[in-house]
Structure 1
Amino acid sequence: MSTIVYWFRNDLRLGDNPGFKEACASANYLLPIYIHPNSNDDLTSWGFPRFARHSREFLQQSLHELRHQLITQGSTLLEFNGKPAEVFQLLGKQAPFDTIYCEQIQAPEELAEVNVIKNLGFNIRQFWQSSMLDPKDLPFDLREMPDVFTKFRQEVERRNLFYVEPISTPDHIPPLPLMSIATKLKEGLFAKQVESLFNGGELSALAHIDQYFESRLPDTYKQTRNQLIGMDYSSKFSPWLAFGCCSSRTIAQKLKNYESTYGANDGTYWLWFELLWRDYFRFLHFKYGIKRYRPQGLVDKVLNSFDEKKFQQWTSGCTGEDFIDAGMRELQETGFLSNRMRQVVASFWIYDMKGDWRAGAAWFESQLVDYDVYSNQGNWLYIAGRGTDPRGGRPFNVKKQAQDHDPDGAYRSKWLNAP
């Protein structure tokens, strides 16, 4: 009789979850768990919490919904706090199991967690399931993939690779094993509600995706994607993708079906293009791994210094540059920022304030409701000129950006005059 633990990580969904579906097919008894790492409560080396309020709220909602889905099928979700290896040691004493199934996350901290678990003698099976494309379908080994995105995209398009078909939700979830264990469930831990643009969970994700396509918003995506105010100028898929409440393959399938019905256009292509960027940042981790997390990144050049006073000015939106200050206040208030503003405020911190890019990346990790380890690291390396882009950095002219994207000052007025 096989007992399997399914460890949910950044894949908080039942649909299009290959690892979870295989666990259901292989187990007589299945124990679904989620582990809140202690590091989420730590302060970063820059002196602020690593996991801020908007992400905590979204995570709470997502786990609540996931647990409800599991309960309706005769199971549940158990939540633990601590180091994964210690949690599995505790579980092994209380409810002996054969194997741990989980999502593969190709980033240094997450890989180190898995290695510690393996070194304790646990069997663990990892499933790569966070990209739109399957690495096995690519025309190159990931360790030899093109460094530059344009070359990567051209190789993908030349072979007409669009997405991998998503898989269905399991028909049956095996029962829980008999166990006697004290678990600290997180229900109500973040009882203080905060205003949010997004509601976490798989059902909320699917509802948002359906509404986006039903409203015919893909048609105008390319024209509106650099706007700054409102919900409809961009897809807003990113929070649900970041926590794995939906998969990029599910979105790509919806997009393909949309094109079959209404026809392809620049907007639908650009949506796929952005999903491909997301894949690209993921796949680069197989080639460069921990090198992407060195202070210098992939390029040996002098780092900017860290000035705490300047950093406080930047994070609080008190730099004196109104376009930047509006963006930083929006980020702190909502946990979200348009892609355009993310690039502009990051550039300002690195090139105008001469700040250490690592502190900026850590602030985004703390504040963004849609923080994703691959994309955050990739984009900050890209702006700082420490990644694979051959142009050596992306400084933005703030005055020009404000004139191009906020000519009437509406965005600045909204956030600088907010109560």
Structure 2
Amino acid sequence: MSGKRSIFEEVESRDAVAEPQGGLIDKAARRGARGAIRIWLMVLFALVMVMIAVGGLTRLTDSGLSITEWAPIKGAIPPLSTEDWQREFDAYRQIPEYQLQNKGMSLSEFQFIYWWEWGHRQLGRVIGLVWALGFFGFLVARKIPVGWTGRLLFLGALGGAQGAIGWWMVASGLEGEMLDVASYRLATHLGLAFVILGFIAWYVFLLGRQERDLMQARRGREAKLFGMGTGLMHFAFLQILLGALVAGIDAGRNYVDWPLMAGGFFPPEPFQLDPLWRNFFEDDGLVQFMHRMAGYFLFIFGIVVWLRARRSPNGVTRFAFNAVLAMMLVQMVLGIVTVMYSAPWQIAILHQVGAVVLWVLILRARFLAGYPVFASLRGAA
């Protein structure tokens, strides 16, 4: 005859059956994979941010043409002897930048610009290595969540394309009478860097929340605000490209008065180059004018988006758009100061880093409009 069993024992037994341990282990594994991949992407994000800053300094120090060949493997080793340095210097002395601008440069002066460009390329190799180790490591361990393999492989493809475009850009300054790289190629190179940074940031945002949370949040998407955030993102990207054109022809070092340009609203004689389209890429006055006007309109549109965001029922989303507007104001002031002081590298690089910060803040605000974080009634109160 069996003894009496407590009702609490039966409840405990049922609870134990209702929650199989295997399911808990599987869920924990999926969370661990998402978290580890997110950390890896954040490392890549930081490296790309540094890469953009180093690329800007390479441009501002006129170092980008100091290495005259593209050697993805061999180029990882810098000159190690006096003969190696002399060989690199002799190659540099054959290009127009040296012959028309830097003739008489000493070997030590060449070494300064060489190290900047070598460091820029080396950082690109490091980013590629970090991506490859992470991607193939997670792939072999089968830790990549469903649907994410293609996304992460896409990042690697963009990185490879960026390396090729970088050389395409450098090659434009090695012949003819070019003293710098072609401005439109520089804009392509920088634009792709921001695209890569944007995808990494978006993936970090997605991996920061569980799939079930994202699916639930998407039902509450603020479609109008999300669409306006998308427009703001595209407008900011256009302004970034115009800024690259300004940097490519040193247009920020001319027309240092503000809000006018050479005493007038429009720069003098902006259409002197032939054919006409070249003026929109190569005339310093017109290119700076376009960058200024786009900045004003971007700021106005940013205010419009911010006013719409104030009506959002989600406090986190409202705060995100507040941060966007604040950074837009900071970035506009930095741009004005950069022009008025004829683009010294210290201020110019702050302006470029400011563009990175603004870009990421816009992406974050757009993400939160698409996947709102709902506050509890107690939190809202």
Normalised TM-score (structure 1): 0.24
Which structure has the greater CA radius of gyration?
2
Point out the structure with the larger strand share.
1
